[in-house]
Amino acid sequence: MIFIADYGAGNLHSVKKAFDYLGIKAMVSSDPRKLSGHRKVLLPGVGAFGQAIDSLNASGFTEAVLEHLDKGGQLLGICLGMQLLLGESEEMGVHKGIDLVSGKVLRFRSETDKIPQIGWNSVDLKKDCALFKGIEDHSFFYFVHSYYCEPMDSGDIAATTWFAGKNFCSAIEKNGIFAVQFHPEKSSEAGLRVLKNFAGC
């Protein structure tokens, strides 16, 4: 059973429908107390970093997620849910993140590419990651974002994507923590495979 955290900043139902389509049991809950006992937790996210981290902290989900990982559980962050895992973000001021992955969330700056990045882009795999099992290198996924993650440790980077003149981190793997900047639930067969891999890894 996949626990999908509802902290007020997520595209919950499209993710839930993707798991339903795959025949994988998943539940959406706004009660962090119900997170306990689940081996796999999904942290979605759409919106602004500051509001999202405030909601996550106030709801009790930050503490619940940290306890979940301490017990050996696994976590998948999607889009803003990925960014929340880093140390801080510069989105509309400086905001502290959960700091499960050392690094910063920065805004794209480009004179040639239109920001935000909206649409399909290729993902280049940087290490053997369970999340991308059976997925070809350079496969395309669907992105919607103006900010990107910059981990301090390159070993945390599972994949990169080229946009706005840089190879930015588009996926993370670290000690049971998985995260992707793209939306797997909107990324056709490759995206569904990512969700299936998370459920099975």
The token pair that represents 144 in the structure block = 């919607």
Of 115, 181, 122, give the one whose Cα is nearest residue 146.
115
Does the pLDDT of residue 177 top 80, yes or no? yes
Residue 29: CATH number of its domain:
3.40.50.880
| Per-residue pLDDT at 8 | 85
Residues 6+ away with beta carbon under 8 Å from 29: 3, 4, 5, 6, 35
Question: What is the DSSP secondary-structure string of 142-191?
Answer: EEEESEEEEES-GGGEEEEEEETTEEEEEEEEETTEEEESS-GGGSHHHH
Does the pLDDT of residue 78 top 90, yes or no? yes
Q: Rounded mean pLDDT of the chain?
A: 95
| Per-residue pLDDT at 37 | 86
| Per-residue pLDDT at 116 | 96
Determine which helix (DSSP H) or strand (DSSP E) holds 63, and give its type and residue range: helix 61-70
What's the rounded mean pLDDT across residues 190-196? 98
Residues annotated as part of the active site: 79, 183, 185
Pair 9, 43: CB distance under 8 Å: no
Compute the distance between CA of residue 8 and CA of residue 138 in angstroms, rounded to an integer: 33
Pair 43, 59: CB distance under 8 Å: no
**Which tens digits make up the pLDDT trace of 26-73?**
999 999 999 988 999 999 988 899 999 999 999 999 999 999 999 999
| Per-residue pLDDT at 111 | 85
Backbone angles phi, psi at 194, to 5 degrees: -60, -45
Q: Sorting pLDDT into bands at 50, 70 and 90, what band is 170? A: very high
The token pair that represents 114 in the structure block = 């239109």
Pair 78, 44: CB distance under 8 Å: yes
What is the total count of domains within the chain? 1
- pTM of the entire structure? 0.96
What's the rounded mean pLDDT across residues 150-167? 97
3-state secondary structure of 51: helix
Domain range for 70: 2-200
**Which tens digits make up the pLDDT trace of 117-148?**
999 999 999 999 999 999 999 999 999 999 99
